[in-house]
Amino acid sequence: MKKVDELEMEDELRPEYDLKSLRVRRLGSERKSFGGTNVRLEPDVAKMFPDSDAVNEALRFLIRVIQENKLAVPKTTPNGS
């Protein structure tokens, strides 16, 4: 096994080139999403929402409706009483 010193490559890059500050450019389907979650909408659904804010607003409304309906449904026992 080689020592760590032997594994490091020498480069001719000038010290003023700080590559750590460069942004990575993604290619392919993730190109527009840097760290976010992508959700693909079917064309008929996408037609109803002009942007991601509209989708989020609609989904938050749906979440509230579901949560409110869960609270409003009375619990029954397994024997139906």
| Domain ranges within the chain, ordered by starting residue | 39-73
Short-list 67, 35, 33, 62, CA closest to 49? 62
SS (H, E, C) the chain: CCCHHHHCCCCCCCCCCCHHHCCCCCCHHHCCCCCCCCCCCCHHHHCCCCCHHHHHHHHHHHHHHHHHHHHHCCCCCCCCC
> Splitting the chain (81 residues) into consecutive groups of 10 residues, what average pLDDT does each group show?
58 74 66 68 92 93 92 69 57
Count other C-beta atoms under 10 Å from residue 32's C-beta. Answer: 8
Q: Is the pTM of this model over 0.85?
A: no
